[in-house]
Amino acid sequence: MTTNNIKTLHSISAIQPLVEPDKKCCSSNNCNNSEQQAPQNPQDNSKNSQLESWKVSGMDCPSCAQKIEKAVAKIHGVDKVQVLFATEKLLVNFAHPATVQQIEQACQNAGFTLNNLSSPLSESANNKPTNIVKDNLQIMSIAAAMLIGALAKIWSPEISQWIFTLTCLVGLYPIGKKAIQLAKSGTPFAIETLMSVAALGALYLGETAEAAMVLLLFLIGERLEAFAASRARSGVQSLMELVPENATKIINDERVIVSAASLQPGDIVEVSPGSRLPADGQLQDDTASFDESALTGESIPVEHLKGDNVMAGSIATDRVVRFMITSKQGENAIDRILHLIEDAESRKAPLERFLDKFSRWYTPLMMLVALAVIITPPLVFAQPWETWVYRGLALLLIACPCALVISTPAAITSGLATAARRGALIKGGAALEQLGKVEIMAFDKTGTLTQGKPDVTNIIGLNNTNEKDLMRYASAVELGSNHPLATSFIRKVEAQGIAIPEASNKQALAGVGVQGEVDGKLVQIISPSKMKLPLGTETLRQVQQLESQGKTVVVVTLNSQTAIGIIAWQDTLRSDSKLAIQALHKLGIRSIMLTGDNPRSAEAISSQLSMEYKASLLPQDKVTFVEQLAQQSQVAMVGDGINDAPAMKAASVSVAMGGGTDVALETADSALTHNRLTELPAMIELSRATLANIRQNVTLALGLKAVFLVTSLLGITGLWVAVLADSGATALVTLNALRLLRFEPKSTD
């Protein structure tokens, strides 16, 4: 188990802090590039601009994030602004230091509280419980006043009317004030505006009790939204809590308790059993086991050896251990995952982008429709003004797009959080949506379907070349290469105590082999299918026999004239490869193995997995083949190496194995931090469940609006039912989205 986990160790720590902003978020052929392009991150800016970040308090739903962005974007000198709803963070690039105060004032005017993350913790950073208590007290006060008003109606209807009117006006004051602030900051059609118009209109019509009820239901709905939002963010917040606040630092052989935020690379810390590592570190003890389940989803403790890197948030399980810190402040494994989650918010799903655009013109349009409902019947058909003003106000409340706008981001946020909990990092809603549409899944072979740790199985000398000389020549050319076949062969040579000579003019022959000069002779190590030198009948028979056993075979030649030997390796399949392919087939997904290996070896491997294959592919051939598939179907590419990156970028959506290279992890739309292939069908199921959830939410939001729109126009339902329909729909779609947090795939049964 130790050996298998050494490669997996770097699964998260290799992930870069931020994905390139110009990276595609969807490569389906019918996508518009300008629409698919994710907005650039505020960190990508001119040298003259500075970046500042704030913690935002008071955001109840993603629409709040849009309000803040609009308010800040209007400030002169602001270059870029982004609000990260999942981590409650505001990022702004601006040119002049004086802009800081303007940004904070603009957000305060819009009804939100900021805490500068670069300054010492202020009181505003912890005002959330106070806000919750304040909101609950407001709801309870209005409910109590309404109860008093209802009781007063028994002996004095006039006093009851005044109680309801005052209750509504007092409760409406902060809402109306916020509506004016939002209108000034660039959001004139907020729900607060609609509520203020509807409540004042009800008071004008003398419907004082109903106006107060509308206000009460609105506040309850807002509180439910805030609760649902906090639940949706709970996964991210629990991730942030994995890093302890304090650490035991070793200074002059003494234990000193220090803040985890003060740790720097090179510091030595001590971690007791049951405690979490405060930063990424290098193990200083001979061996120790760690629970990495919170980061990788792998429940079995992982054993690490001296010098191994261990991720922040891991739990020491069996002994007191010491580490040398390797990560800077804000750059540990947990921070990198949080950066990915934050960056994912800018990579919206196509449906989410459509709904964002839809909501921009939908609300103004519905206000015009409501106005038409109010004035048309009285002016054209001589209907009573009171009746149609009332119905128009009800229509105005029903038309609120909150439930529709939140239907998609709520489901996607829950889906991404669930994927992260299972050890799958998906970079945004676009990737999550594309995974659900995959029809074909292409796999790299080495390191993806196989362990990526091939063993040398055969060393055969040819033309009177002894085995030792063959190993000397071949190892000299292979020395220094990071290719799994090369490193495996070098280990074999060193284990036998054979001295490796120096080779000059070493060169990689892409897709063919390698060459170099040893003792003045040109030594080439080439795939049999790419050889120009004719091989003898017996040599060909030996090569074919080895390849038919699923082995990777190369021929070593001298001066391009003589074949001096055959070397063969065999890589073992991952234990869960077959189960993963079977599960994908049950989901109706074709699986194809893409490999540069020879056809006989590829067929031997693919037959064990019951999947299709394409062999003898150069990196460019993989790209061409994936592009051809993508023209006909939705294609996912799964790989782990640098040579897989171009094909991964050509696919509709891509998945990197967590133990792979940095390039593959950066290129991919998602990554498996634990290297379990069985999580692939689970990701597909989760994506499909998320898409189904979105369809349910949109249907629910629009369906309720359609029903109550008709009943309001016919005079069957009134204002308070309209508010209940809007708040209820918002709460229902959010709660429905939260069901994804409990998602369990059928493929794991």
What Å distances lie between residue 478 and 506, 552, 593, 658, 726, CA to CA? 9, 16, 26, 26, 68
| Helix (H), strand (E) at residue 402 | helix 402-421
CB atoms within 10 A of CB 567: 24
Query: How far is it, in rounded angstroms, from Cα 468 to Cα 236?
Result: 57
User: H helices within 714-743, ranges in order?
Assistant: 719-738
**Separation between Cα atoms, residue 530 and residue 512, nearest integer Å:** 6
DSSP code at position 301: P
Catalytic residue among 291, 308, 335, 444: 444
Distance CA 248, CA 269 (A): 5
Q: Which amino acid is at 591?
A: S
131 strand-pairing partners = none
Helix, strand, coil % (nearest 5) of the chain?
50, 20, 30
Of 595, 741, 731, 733, nearest in space to 217 by CA:
731
Tokens at 172, concatenated: 């409406």
Task: Tell which residue, 609, 601, 487, 477, has the closest CA to residue 547.
Answer: 601
| Known catalytic residue at 444 | yes
Cα-flanking dihedrals φ and ψ of residue 655, to 5°? -130, 130
Residue labelled with tokens 């305060």: 108
Q: Report d(CA 587, CA 575) in Å as an integer.
A: 20
DSSP 360-395: HHHHHHHHHHHHHHHHHHHHHH---HHHHHHHHHHH
**Whole-angstrom Cα distance, residue 176 to residue 607?**
69
- The answer to whether 72 and 107 have CB atoms below 8 angstroms apart is yes
Which positions are annotated as active-site residues?
A: 444
